[in-house]
Amino acid sequence: MNVPIVIEPQGQTTSIDACVIWLHGLGANGQDFVSAIPLLGISKEHPIRFVFPTATTIPVTINAGYVMPAWYDIVSVSKTQRQVDEQGISASVARIHALIQEHIDRGISPSRIILAGFSQGAAIAYMAGLSTAQPLGGVVALSGYLPSVALFERVTQPVNQNTPVWIAHGHYDDVVDVELGAQAFDYLQLNGYNVQWQTYPIDHTVSPNELRGMGHFIAKVLAQ
């Protein structure tokens, strides 16, 4: 199993009491968003540990079976849905739950842990972040989607109903259509989740404005 990249706050002398676990997209790795940390604009008053795991390397059906880091296999895609490997999703959710527990065991309260993800990583952030035994501080989904509503409904727990969820999506995304992101928002809102939705004039990527929005959400969660 790949060892996550861990970035500790520089010059921190007091104990770290918050953690952001950030999941990359299909075919990327844990290094993908390390350079984005300063762009969040989070005050140094918040001593945050950032954790960037890398998904297991597997063949991905929609990419002609090429082997790459992936949180689960994607069998087929359309503008409004994905056919996915639920067993692979469950395995990645279990791995992220174990990673969350590791940092709880290191002294960070679940309410001070934020699970973030981009694209396929956002799909796992939904699934793992809203199915924990103890509610997390928040979930961030960038350019993502709910990979399986049926599986989501089987694994989520009422204790996570009030977990703040911040969804951001590029209006011009041609990989994960903005409609998929909106479907996730609509579903969560309809089912009583504490969810926010924001679009940006970008494609399947992140922008400085989006990252600042994410940083504002993180700071707001940690200020509570």
What is the structure's pLDDT at 126?
Answer: 97
Tell me the whole-structure pTM to 2 decimals.
Answer: 0.95
> 37 is written with which tokens?
């940390």
What is the structure's pLDDT at 6?
Answer: 95
97 is catalytic: no
pLDDT tens, residue by residue, 146-188: 998 999 999 998 899 999 999 999 999 999 999 999 999 999 9
pLDDT band, very low/low/confident/very high, at 76 (cuts 50, 70, 90): confident
109 is catalytic: no
Residue 141, φ and ψ in degrees, nearest 5: -125, 110
Q: How many CB atoms lie within 10 A of CB 198?
A: 15
Domain ranges of the chain: 5-223
177 is catalytic: no
What is the structure's pLDDT at 102?
Answer: 95
Catalytic residue among 92, 119, 143, 148: 119
- Provide the β-strand partners of residue 48: 18
At the topology level, CATH places domain 5-223 in Rossmann fold (3.40.50)
**DSSP readout, 37-84?**
GGGG---TTS-EEEEE--PPEEEEGGGTTEEEE-SS-EEEE-SS-EEE
Q: Which of 56-60, 75-79, 90-94 has the lowest mean pLDDT?
A: 75-79
pLDDT tens, residue by residue, 9-21: 876 556 788 999 9
Query: Scanning the structure block, which residue is given the tokens 């082997």?
Result: 67
Catalytic residue among 111, 204, 207, 216: 204
